[in-house]
Amino acid sequence: MKTRVLVAYASRYGSTQEVARAIADTLRENSFEVDLKPIQDVKSLEEYTAVVLGAPLYMVHWHKDAHKFLSWHRENLTKMPVAIFALGPLNDEEEEWKEVRAQLDKELAKFPWIRPVAAEIFGGKLDPEKLRFPDNLISRLPASPIHNKPASDLRDWAAIRAWASSLAARFQSALPQ
């Protein structure tokens, strides 16, 4: 029987959605059956054997839909392998990656019952011209980390696909034989 995986994501401006799609495609190439859905469209996890959950960080917090997903589906999520990713860093500097890792760790600590088989951070994308309220206002504040920041895209597609491929083995070893 094929392992059926749900890739559930939250995204404000589409960059996390594109990463989720690349992960879903890579899992399909690795012989998984995969559904790709925004978190809001996920009603039940009954038909899945494993889950990938992805969401961006905003103002040091993981997207609220990721919190809701973990709360709503707690019972099922404790019975299956779960892999997690977050988008965030906009500067390729070691210090920023460390900070973002700490942000995600802090968010996941709010759900101590979850034991992800993997929890990864990928670089984010920023297009200042496309920001909507309140992000466009936040970007104008001199104290904001994205103040005057030019457009950037730190998503490393090779790393994203490699991570998705590595999930095949992690899911298999976490599932009952």
Binding site for ligand FMN (CB under 6 A): 11-16, 56-60, 87-90, 100, 103, 124-126, 131, 135, 138, 146
Residue type, 139: S
Complex with ligand FMN: residue 68 or 170, whichever CB lies closer: 68
Nearest distance in Å: CB 21, ligand FMN: 12
Give the list of residues 6+ apart from residue 144 with CB closer than 8 angstroms, or none: 138
CA 162 to chain CA mean position, Å: 15
Output 81 or 124, the one with its CB closest to ligand FMN.
124
59: Cβ contacts below 8 Å, ≥ 6 apart? 138
In whole angstroms, the minimum distance from the beta carbon of 86 to ligand FMN comes to: 7
DSSP reduced 3-state for 114: coil
Q: Are 53 and 87 in contact (CB under 8 A)?
A: no
Helix (H, G, I), strand (E, B) or coil at 154: coil
Shortest distance, position 138 Cβ to ligand FMN, whole Å: 4
Residue 54 or 81: which CB sits closer to ligand FMN? 54
Nearer to ligand FMN, 21 or 28 (CB): 21
